[in-house]
Amino acid sequence: MRIILLGVPGAGKGTQAEFISNRLGIPALSTGNMLRAAVKAETPLGLQVKDLLAAGELVSDDIILNIIKERLAEPDCNPGYILDGVPRTVAQAEGLEALEVEVDTCLFFDIPDQAVIDRLSGRRSCPECQAVHHITANPPQTEGICDVCSTALVQRPDDTTDTVGRRLEVFREQTAPLIDFYTAKGILKVVPSEGTVEEVTARVFDVLEA
Ligand code: AMP
């Protein structure tokens, strides 16, 4: 199974990617997580993209295609993969095709803007392992502490109200054309993404198993 997850920030891609990964035994590849790890480690790539991430702007298609190409070459991707947050532009989708990256299904997480603004304000992320929690919808067992690795949770700098607005605009301008792109290929499946994590997970597997 080779799956793309498409949707605005906060639609639930990262959370559902973990469930799909565990159920199907295929890795979830998040370009956002890879870039944040590079920023944290202050690698040359990290230093190059740090300000773009903080501003909610997209990193160049070339950089993204390079990092995803390298990751897909690792053997754990042989049985399949989940692409979380990539492609984000039609040029990236075409670049993946040129690299002969196969895709069976594109899941579009469909949710109104206001619902994601509410969600992102309560999102708390682990700076160490990148696990995602929410103060009310998916609270950690101990307040403020990551369930997975016990690191103190933080609010991502790009989850603040100002930047969220820009990220929604960037989605509309640069990423939304992918809805038509994958519809035309006959592989787009819509997942209504309001509701609880469990409700959305049930819809994801209904769609994948249909
Ligand atoms: P995410 O964790 O998917 O919300 O991504 C966080 C940030 O990383 C985005 O706002 C972009 O700055 C950058 N980013 C992640 N994936 C991509 C991509 N496929 N293309 C361009 N920029 C990306």
pLDDT in tens, 112-163: 998 998 888 899 999 999 898 999 888 999 999 999 999 999 998 888 888 9
Active site residue 13: yes
Closest CA to 130 of 84, 92, 88, 67: 84
Prior bond of 192 cis (ω within 30°): no
Confidence (pTM): 0.93
Tally DSSP H helices, then E strands, for the chain: 9, 7
Q: Is 32 in the pocket of ligand 1 (CB under 6 A)?
A: yes
Q: Counting atoms of ligand 1 from 1, which one is nearest the CA of 9?
A: 4
Q: Counting atoms of ligand 1 from 1, which one is nearest the CA of 53?
A: 12
DSSP string, 115-170: HHHHHHHTEEE-TTT--EEETTTB--SSTTB-TTT-PBPB--GGGSHHHHHHHHHH
Q: Is 28 in the pocket of ligand 1 (CB under 6 A)?
A: no
pLDDT in tens, 2-13: 999 999 999 999
Active site residue 71: no
